[in-house]
Chains A and B, each alone.
Chain A
């Protein structure tokens, strides 16, 4: 579970610090920096898992750094605190890009568990301790994160826990309109827009517990839903098909692409729920899960997610929707704002005045001192 995030000199995030519990709802005006918080986490995850490198041009690479416009510094700082089974892990990365024509590079990287260092890295290389306590190290390409480069062996099981937790961070902005019609291979994780939803389904559906959880949830909202099926539609290509059968009625088979945008979004949201319920995901961050989803469907989904949350299961969402905001409040709600376009993002608890809904209070801006 993410307990704290610190970001400096990334877009409008300047010395920005946010603390999170099992449920977090980020809200605030457009341009206040909510999505930048998720993008910072996404960048950190991609670097930390080796999915992306600095200065590259691949899908997950970071070709250049996005600094805060009004600052002169050429260094970005990120620090992520995670509670993993009661232990506090801290992972920090400093990245530098001295000029537009220079490639960005990692100048400092460090990880610790309950205050004990796991490894440290600077421009000279990476250092860490072997199982016998002696110090060792290796030089490393400045564009690459050490967290992804160290092979966890022997006494490095804590490093493995951190690597797994970072890899399992699901940061999503579901876009049901462009979700794939057919899948060519399994995908271990959904991509940012969940376009590879069928490929992700292919990697999960063989876990019976996950499949049961998903089917039961969907039957709750669509009483005529019966089952999923992966159908061969070409060489190594599979499409997802849903079977509906009203009581006493004739069954109907619909391909995933034949569902409405809202229905596809619901399948995605309940796939995530099943992933959290069965341990395939621990921390899920969703940018506007309410997009495309009908009003009657929202409260049941939010409450069914809240049923699963504890120290090891976390949901953080960005939302403007009153139905989701009403599930936040001062304890879980984080209000983000900026005073103008040259001031940094500020964050505070969502404080709703008595007698007013969260949605109404935010619309009026009556949520902070």
Chain B
């Protein structure tokens, strides 16, 4: 493993007003995956807000190329909302793949990206984590404060560390967790 091993998270979110960076940062730091570089440090997780989903989609190929050039085994996570124009995570991933192909990203590099797609948006997951239910066919209720987002992220990290199957997970959260588990398995075996 090279010394640049870290986690870069591209996400949606307008400058400063979004809960997404707070949720993601809190989740990743609480998870503390054991394959990241051993000397740790502050920038072991780097969050890059890209505005909206279109911004994330445009930035992803560029970031894949950057990570490749940097030579480290950087984990690239792409967080975007699976809005009502996409049936599920696979459909949205296909859109990302189209854009990646247009920008000459190789399949093997694209396959290493971890896609995390909440449906309809991150607030649905937060609603689920707080109240154990959410309706993914509608936008989850607005989160008033970043503290609520952080508390939900810590709860998700706890579930994830325990590794027990959870009943009633929202489908998009289940799909995203599987992507994360595949990455964990791949990193542990390499």
CB within 8 Å of B: which residues of A? 22-23, 25, 220-223, 247, 296-297, 299-301, 303-304, 306-311, 313, 326-333, 352, 354, 357-358
Question: How extensive is the interface on chain B, given as a class?
Answer: 20 to 34
How far is A329 from B51 in the complex, measured between Cα atoms in Å? 11
5 further contact pairs, Cβ within 8 A, besides A300-B42, A304-B25, A309-B145:
A296-B42, A297-B43, A326-B15, A327-B16, A328-B15
CA distance A354 to B49 in the complex (A): 13
CA distance A307 to B22 in the complex (A): 6
* Of the residues A221, A331, A354, contact of B42 by C-beta under 8 Å: A221
Choose among B16, B25, B147 the residue that contacts A313 (Cβ–Cβ < 8 A).
B147
Indicate whether B88 reaches chain A with its CB closer than 8 angstroms. Answer: no
B15: which A residues are within 8 A, CB to CB? 326-330, 333, 352, 357-358
Q: Contacts of A329 on B, CB cut-off 8 Å?
A: 14-17
Residues of B within 8 A of A22 (CB): 145-146
Which residue, B26, B46, B146, B149, has most C-beta atoms of chain A within 10 A? Answer: B146
Nearest CB in chain B to that of A301: its residue = B42
Contact assessment for A331 and B47 in the assembled complex, using a CB-CB cutoff below 8 Å: no
Tell whether B165 is near chain A: CB-to-CB under 8 Å. Answer: no
B108 at the A interface (CB under 8 A): no
CB pair A307 B16 closer than 8 Å: no
A328 to B15 alpha-carbon distance, docked (Å): 6
Known: A326-B15, A327-B16. A296 touches B144 (CB 8 A): no
B89 within 8 A of A: no
11 intermolecular pairs with C-beta atoms under 8 Å apart:
A223-B39, A296-B41, A299-B43, A299-B46, A300-B43, A303-B21, A307-B149, A308-B150, A309-B146, A309-B147, A331-B14
Check: B29 CB closer than 8 A to any chain A CB: yes
For the complex, what is the distance from the CA of A221 to the CA of B49, rounded to whole Å? Answer: 22
Q: Main SS of the interface on chain A?
A: mixed
Given the complex of chains A and B, what is the CA–CA distance between A297 and B47 in angstroms?
A: 13
Pair B49/A330 contact, Cβ less than 8 Å: no
Which of A221, A247, A306 touches B22 (beta carbons < 8 Å)? Answer: A306
Give chain B's interface secondary structure class.
Answer: mixed
Please tell me if the beta carbons of A223 and B40 are within 8 angstroms of each other in the complex: yes
> How distant is the Cα of A297 from the Cα of B46 in the complex, in angstroms?
11
Residues of A contacting B43 in the complex (Cβ-Cβ under 8 angstroms):
296-297, 299-300
B148 interface residue per 8 A CB criterion: yes
- Chain B residues 145 to 189 lying within 8 A of chain A, measured CB to CB, are 145-150
Q: Measured between alpha carbons, how far is A327 from B46 in the docked complex, in Å? A: 14
Which residues of chain B come closer than 8 Å to A222, judged between CB atoms? 40-41
In the complex, which residues of chain B have a beta carbon less than 8 angstroms from the beta carbon of A220? Answer: 29, 40, 42
CB distance from A266 to the nearest CB of B (A): 9
Interface hub of A220, A303, A313 (most chain B Cβ within 10 A): A303
Assess the A299–B16 pair: CB atoms within 8 A.
no
Question: Chain A residues with Cβ under 8 A from B39's Cβ?
Answer: 223
Closest 5 CB pairs of A and B: A329-B16, A329-B15, A223-B40, A307-B150, A310-B145
By beta carbon, the residue of chain B nearest A297 is B42
Q: Which residue of A lies closest to B24 (CB)?
A: A303
Residues of A within 8 A of B148 (CB): 310
CA distance A303 to B42 in the complex (A): 11
- Contact indicator A25/B41 (Cβ below 8 Å): no
| Cβ–Cβ contact A308 & B147, under 8 A | yes
On chain B, the residues within 8 Å of A357 by CB distance are 15
Measured CB to CB, the closest approach of chain A to B68, in angstroms, equals: 22
What CA separation (Å) do A247 and B46 show in the bound complex? Answer: 24
Return chain A residues, CB-CB under 8 Å to B146.
22-23, 306-310
CA distance A352 to B16 in the complex (A): 11
Q: How far is the CB of A92 from chain B (nearest CB, A)?
A: 28
A352 to B45, CA, bound (A): 26
Q: Per a CB cutoff under 8 Å, which of A297, A300, A328, A333 touches B25?
A: A300
**Interface contact A328-B16, CB-CB below 8 Å:** yes
B5-44 CB contact bits vs A (8 Å, 1 = yes)?
0000000001111000110011001000000001111110
**Chain A residues within 8 Å of B26, by CB:** 303, 307
- Residue numbers in A under 8 Å from B147 (CB-CB): 307-310, 313
Question: How distant is the Cα of A299 from the Cα of B21 in the complex, in angstroms?
Answer: 10
**Candidates A296, A326, A333; contact of B49 at CB < 8 Å:** A326
Q: How far is the CA of A196 from the CA of B45 in the complex (A)?
A: 32
Report the minimal beta-carbon distance from A362 to chain B, rounded to whole angstroms.
12
A327 to B42, CA, bound (A): 17
Q: How far is the CB of A246 from chain B (nearest CB, A)?
A: 9
The residues of B that contact A303 with a CB separation of less than 8 Å are 21-22, 25-26, 47
Chain A: minimal CB distance from B56 (Å): 15
